[in-house]
Structure 1
Amino acid sequence: MAETTADDQLWSQVVTLSGRVESGLAKALQRKHRLGLSEYRALCHLANADQGELRMQELADAVGLNQSSASRLVARLETVGLTVRDHCPADRRGVYSVITEAGRELQAAARPTYLETLAAALDRAAADPDLTTTVKALRG
């Protein structure tokens, strides 16, 4: 049987915590706003970006997706009118994703759900003896 290291144990706790929190966030956003977690995060990054736009690769990096997955994500957002694509005037090969007013409104409406669900999930995890130390470390 392989011996676990402190780093291995810590990482396992982070992965467990992340899975629980992500699952709760995804369910709450889908149930209350019909919005996926990656879609919500993309809208947040776009809403906070200069002029509400990011190059596709920047958005992919910000959301933690590869280029192909980010393109599918943006296509879903475009289909429901939450974003549009725009070409970079200086480099026609460069493509931006731009948040629309409808995207801003949905992101703003979903934000309280996200924050409440996040706080509740972290509170529950903090009560779990296996995760208390991890949550304390993350919350500072």
Structure 2
Amino acid sequence: MTGTTDGAIWDQVVTLHGRVESELAKTIQRRHGIGLSEYRALCRLASAEGGELRMQELADLIGLNQSSVSRLVARLESSGLTRRAHCPNDRRGVYTMITEEGRAVQEKAAPTYHETLRDALDSATGDQRVGPLVTALRA
């Protein structure tokens, strides 16, 4: 019985996640011209000590593999939102650092992200498939 219950709960989580991620991605892209992963990377960098993280640490924090985070950081760099630096103690270690322009983009997009998240969750409460999950998560 537990497996069935766990499966049903997980299905609700996946459905809710997909719905909310889709809304966030569309809105952030439309209003700010960046992808959702780019926004999340900028948020993690903005809140990191010194505005920098090792590439692998950033990958872990935003749920990407090393190859995907490398492409993501390359896009951010080409837009002037981050820059790379080598670790002074270990030349193999690569850091990515948020720029002032990156901070400005992240700060401007943050209210959009939070508003869209709230609206997507509010909307989901009316869906019998995921509404009880949203209510439980917000409790």
Q: TM-score range by the shorter chain?
A: over 0.9
Aligned-residue identity in percent: 66
How far the C-alpha of 1:129 sits from its partner, in A, is: 1.4
The separation in 1 between residues aligned to 2:135 and 2:97, in whole angstroms, is: 37
Instruction: Identify the residue that residue 41 of structure 2 maps to in structure 1.
Output: 42
**Which residue number in structure 2 is paired with residue 16 of structure 1?**
15
Instruction: List gaps (5 residues or longer) in structure 2.
Output: none
Which residue number in structure 1 is paired with residue 73 of structure 2? 74
Aligned-pair CA distance for 1:133: 1.2
Pairs aligned (count): 137
Render the CA deviation track for 1:28-81: whole Å, top value 9, x for unaligned. Answer: 000000010000000000000000000000000001000000000000000000
Q: Distance in 2 between matches of 1:72 and 1:138?
A: 33
What residue ranges of structure 1 are gaps of 5+ in the alignment? none
- Give the Cα–Cα distance (whole angstroms) in 2 for the partners of residues 124 and 28 of structure 1: 15
Displacement after TM superposition at 1:88 (Å): 0.6
Displacement of 1:8: 0.4
CA distance in 2 between partners of 1:69 and 1:129 (Å): 35
Q: CA deviation at 1:131?
A: 1.1
Secondary structure (helix, strand or coil) at the match of 1:65 reads: coil
Write the distance in 2 (CA, Å) between the matches of 1:118 and 1:33.
15
1:19 partner letter: G
Q: C-alpha offsets along residues 92-115 of structure 1, whole Å, 9 cap, x if unaligned?
A: 110000000000000000000000
What is the alpha-carbon distance in structure 1 between the residues aligned to residue 64 and residue 138 of structure 2?
Answer: 25
- With the length of structure 1 as denominator, give the TM-score of the two structures: 0.96
What SS class does the counterpart of residue 127 from structure 2 fall into? Answer: coil
Paired position in structure 1 for 2:26: 27
Q: Matched residues in 1 for 2:130 and 2:17: separation?
A: 11
Q: How far apart, in 1, do the equivalents of 2:78 and 2:104 lie?
A: 16
CA distance in 1, matches of 2:90, 2:14: 40
Q: CA RMSD in A?
A: 0.8
Q: TM-score, normalised by structure 2?
A: 0.97
Q: Could you say which residue in structure 2 is the equivalent of 1:92?
A: 91
Deviation of residue 137 (structure 1)? 1.7
Q: Find the aligned partners of 2:115 and 2:126 in 1 and give their Cα distance.
A: 17
Aligned to 2:56: 57
